[in-house]
Amino acid sequence: MGEFGKFSLPLTFGRYPTRNVVVNTRFTGYATVFDVSHMGIFETRNKDKLENLLSLNLDKLQENRSRLSVILDRDNGRVLDDLIVGNVDNEKFRLVVNANNRNFFRNFDYLEEKNKKIMAIQGDGASRLVEQLLRTDLRDTYFMDNKTISNETLEICRCGYTGEDGFEIYSSPEITEHLAEAIFNLSQNNEKILFGGLMERDILRMEASLWLSGTDFSPVVHIPFNALDTPWLIAPSFRKNPKLETGFRFSKFFSNKPIRKGLIFNGSGEPVGFITSSTKSFTLDKFIALGYTNQELELTGIHFINERKGVINRMPIYLETSHFIEPRYYREMKE
C-alpha cells in the first residue's frame, strides 16, 4: 500500500507480480481489475457553464458518448487536469477527474460531487467479465460509449488507460463492494482474472503513450497545451491566442538502458528538451520515457546525462515516432 492523492491505495499485489500483470493484460482472454476510487466523479446539467470550463462545444458530444478533455490555465496556456467528460442519456454530464484535483472542481456550484466508486477492468477478457458481472450485452457498446445499468447507482463507460479494451464502472459504495467481492470469488478459479495497483497502472499507461497527471503535466510542469499536439481537445475559439505559441512538442523515447528524468542534450551539449516520466516496459522489454523536445530539433544524436556515484555518462536515447503499443480498443465496424 502507498499514499496517493491523500488516499491509501494498493501499489501492487504480492500474488500478482508486476511483470505478469503488465504483460498478461495484453494477452487474449485476460482481464485486470484496478480500484480507482480515488478518482472523483462530478455531475451537472448546466451545459453552458461546463462548456466554458472545458473549452469545448458539448453539442458535438452525442448521447451516451464520452471523450477526453482538459482543464486549462488560459492565461498561460497550461494543462491543469485531464479528465473524461460523458453525456449520460442526454440527461446529465459526468466528469471523472484526477484525485489531486477534486478540490478544484468543488469550487463550482453547478458541479455536484457524487458518492460513487470507480472500478476499472482492462484487457481482452474485460467485456466477458463485465457482461457476467452485470448480466448485460455489451456487443453494441463501443469505445467511449456510456451505458446506464441502473439509474443513478450503476453506470459504465467502455474506456481505459491501457490501450486495450476495457471499462470503468461507476457505482454506489454498496454495489461496488458487492461487485468487488464477486470478482474476487471468480478470480479464485480463474487464472485470467488479475489485480493491478498503481505500479501496473502507470506502466500500462505509459506503454499506451498517455500522460501521467502530476508528472507529464501539472501547474508545476509549465508546458503550454500547444506542445501536446492534441488540438482536438480544445475548441478553436480557445486556441487562437498567439502568445501561447510554444517551441516544444510532446515526445516519446526508448532505450536499451534505464532512462532518467531530466534534461535532454544534443551532440553539442546544448539542452534541447527534458524527460518527465520513464519506466521499464515489460511488454516491449525496453525502457521508455515521455517528455518534451524543441520543435526545431533534428532528433538524432540526442542523449541525457546519467550521473551515478560521481561518474557522468552521456547515454543516447531514441525518438519513438508512433505509439509504444498500438491501441486495441473495441470500435464499431464501419461499412
pLDDT of residue 228: 57
Residue 190 DSSP SS3: coil
- Cα–Cα dist 254/258, whole Å: 9
Q: Give residue 235's pLDDT.
A: 65
- pLDDT confidence of residue 236: 61
Q: Using CA atoms, how far apart are residues 332 and 335, in angstroms rounded to an integer? A: 10
What is the average per-residue pLDDT within 53-59?
89
Q: Are 99 and 89 in contact (CB under 8 A)?
A: no
The lowest-confidence range among 39-48, 86-95, 266-275, 293-302 is: 293-302
pLDDT confidence bin for 273, thresholds 50/70/90: confident
> Cα(first)–Cα(last) distance of the chain, in Å?
48
Confidence of residue 129 (pLDDT cuts 50, 70, 90): very high
Confidence of residue 243 (pLDDT cuts 50, 70, 90): very low
- Reply yes or no on whether the pLDDT at 12 is more than 90: yes
pLDDT score for 270 = 81
Of the ranges 6-10, 76-80, 305-309, 318-322, which one carries the lowest mean pLDDT score?
A: 305-309
**Ranges 144-153, 228-237, 288-297: which has the least confidence:** 228-237
The 10 Å Cβ neighbour count of residue 262 is 16
Question: How many angstroms from the chain centroid is the CA of residue 284?
Answer: 19
Window from 135-144, 234-243, 278-287, 306-315 with minimum mean pLDDT:
234-243
- What is the percent of the chain with per-residue pLDDT over 90, rounded to a whole number? 60
> What pTM, to 2 d.p., does this model score?
0.90
Q: Is pLDDT at 248 greater than 60 in this prediction?
A: yes
Cell of 108: 463550482
**Average model confidence (pLDDT) across the chain:** 88
At residue 160, does pLDDT exceed 60? Answer: yes
Distance of CA 137 to the CA centre of its chain: 26
DSSP-based three-state secondary structure for 181: helix
pLDDT recorded at residue 247? 67
Residue ranges of domains in the chain, CATH in brackets: 2-207 (3.30.1360.120), 225-320 (2.40.30.110)
Helix (H, G, I), strand (E, B) or coil at 34: strand
| Mean pLDDT within 302-327 | 79
Confidence category of residue 296, pLDDT binned at 50, 70, 90: low
Burial 35-73 (b: 16+ CB within 10 A, else e): bbbbbbbbbbeeeeebbebbbbebeebeebbbbebbbbe
Q: Which of 74-78, 168-172, 193-197, 206-210 has the lowest mean pLDDT?
A: 74-78
Rounded Cα distance between 126 and 131, Å, is 9
Q: Is the pLDDT of residue 230 over 80?
A: no
pLDDT greater at residue 231 or residue 222: 222
For residue 307, pLDDT over 90 is answered with no
